[in-house]
Amino acid sequence: MLYVSTRGQATSISFKEAVLTGLATDGGLYLPETYPKFSAEEIRNLNGLSYIDLSLKIMRKFIGPELSDTNLREIVQGSYSNFGTDDYCPTDQVDKNHYLLELYHGPTLAFKDFAMQFIVN
């Protein structure tokens, strides 16, 4: 999996390089060169997974073989270990058809914890 700059002037780089580099040399943000696809069967197999296992299945598609399954699991588990709950992003039903997604769990009590804890680890 290669990552390209949103400004299109930087060289394509690997996942690890994108994480360690931060901003692209042209000042852009890194995005996947192509977005992975999930088959209907893969999507069905996501049903019922824990948040950690779901995260692993989805992230694996974006990371590729650069991190072993063991290392990736350690990073993901470590990223969410200080959220203070096993229900990392619960939903509260507001009324019949509306739900509120709680993204304030985590060490800083802000939505950014969901992505940034992984990047930091």
Kindly report, residue by residue over 54-89, the tens digit of the pLDDT.
Answer: 999 999 999 988 899 999 999 999 888 887 777 888
Identify the burial level of 19 via C-beta atoms within 10 angstroms of its C-beta, where 0-12 means exposed, 13-18 middle and 19 or more buried: middle
* DSSP-derived secondary structure for 3-30: EEETTS-SPPEEHHHHHHH-S-TTS--E
- The pLDDT mean for the chain works out to 90
Nearest to 14 by CA among 58, 56, 64: 64
pLDDT digit string, tens, across residues 36-62: 999 999 999 999 998 899 999 999 999
Tens of pLDDT, residues 95-111: 999 999 888 888 888 88
**Rounded to an integer, what distance in angstroms lies between the CA atom of residue 100 and that of residue 29?**
29
**Residue for token digits 């990736």?**
72
Which residue in 37, 61, 96, 112 is the catalytic one?
Answer: 112
112 included as an active-site residue: yes
